[in-house]
Structure 1
Amino acid sequence: MFRYVHTNIIAKDPDKLIAFYKEVFHCKSIGEKRDLKGQWLDRLTGLNNAHITGEHLLLPGYGDDHPTLEIFSYDAVRENVRGEVNRPGIAHIAFEVDDVETTLGLMIHAGGSQVGELVTAEYPNDTEAVFVYARDPEGNIIELQSWRQKKN
């Protein structure tokens, strides 16, 4: 069997980031909080005395068990260079929303920020999409998108 299970974000302040994703993107708690440590975790992570806490949040638009957004924190979180949209590796996560501008406003009000401009792009079959890149309160990049029939 193969199935997509979760995406993980390591947070400096997991409680704040969990609240952000619940408020803005309607992610839901499913009772999967974690407080992990032990030799098995040290071996898995390659870190000494690793300790992870956090929670799995059900992503909107899916069933009751997966996929989830896993927001965790380590006791010792390394500082790094802020991600950019053209950096190798996972660049962003995307949410389809009813109204990109409204959701962007909610993100900013909840501590996020805008990266680039809000744009509308034309696609085949008289379809257009509205896109914007933004950041959550810890700098992770999120793409907001909304699809609709082209306005004539």
Structure 2
Amino acid sequence: MSLLRMDNVGVVVEDLEAAVAFFLELGMELEGKGQVEGRWVDSVIGLDDVRVDVAMVRTPDGHNKLELSRFRNPSAISTGPSGPANALGVRRLMFAVDDIEDTLARLRTHGAELIGELTRLDGWLMCYLRGPEGIIVALTEQTS
């Protein structure tokens, strides 16, 4: 047995439209939207009477996807405010971009906030920012 691929990363959000707009502004492409409900999803995720709005976005090369989900039932629960970079669990999503400063400017119009500084190291520019729902996004740009 061997791993074939990673299909997507799931992110639960409260404001699905804002999250989709943020990732589209980043440069991802909308693959589709829909609603998920029924006994089959209840049995897969271990909750009862599930109703979820879902949007799938993908990178332009088609290799990586995010499944953005808004739970209508049961309601999403908060595990507290977004923690620092050393908190346990999934901490960030990283994307390579061709113009990091332009990308930052565009994402700021969607509420993104720089966490630290835009930093240069060995031919790379890199930064962390907090996007919708506290999602931490890392951006990199190769400069040499």
Compute the TM-score of the two structures, normalised by the length of structure 2: 0.88
Name the count of aligned residue pairs: 139
Cα contact 1:83–1:140 (8 A) shared by 2: no
1:93-113 alpha-carbon deviations (Å, 9 max, x no partner): 111111222211211112111
* Secondary structure of residue in 2 paired with 1:78: coil
CA distance in 2 between partners of 1:44 and 1:4 (Å): 18
Cα contact 2:100–2:139 (8 A) shared by 1: yes
Q: Aligned letter for 1:70?
A: E
Deviation at 1:148, TM superposition (A): 2.2
Cα contact 1:93–1:143 (8 A) shared by 2: yes
1:93 — aligned with what? Answer: 93
Cα contact 1:113–1:137 (8 A) shared by 2: no
Deviation at 1:52, TM superposition (A): 1.2
Aligned with 2:69 (options 72, 76, 100): 72
Cα contact 1:113–1:134 (8 A) shared by 2: yes
Q: Aligned letter for 1:138?
A: E
Instruction: Identify if the C-alpha distance between structure 1 residues 50 and 83 changes in structure 2 by more than 3 Å, giving closer, same or farther.
Output: farther
Cα contact 2:36–2:54 (8 A) shared by 1: no
5+ long unaligned stretches in structure 1 = 123-127
Compute the TM-score of the two structures, normalised by the length of structure 1: 0.84
Task: List 4+ stretches of structure 1 deviating above 6 A.
Answer: none
Deviation at 1:83, TM superposition (A): 3.5
RMSD: 1.5
CA distance in 1 between partners of 2:30 and 2:108 (Å): 22
CA distance in 1 between partners of 2:83 and 2:41 (Å): 26
CA distance in 2 between partners of 1:84 and 1:38 (Å): 36
Deviation at 1:33, TM superposition (A): 1.9
Aligned with 2:22 (options 17, 20, 23): 20
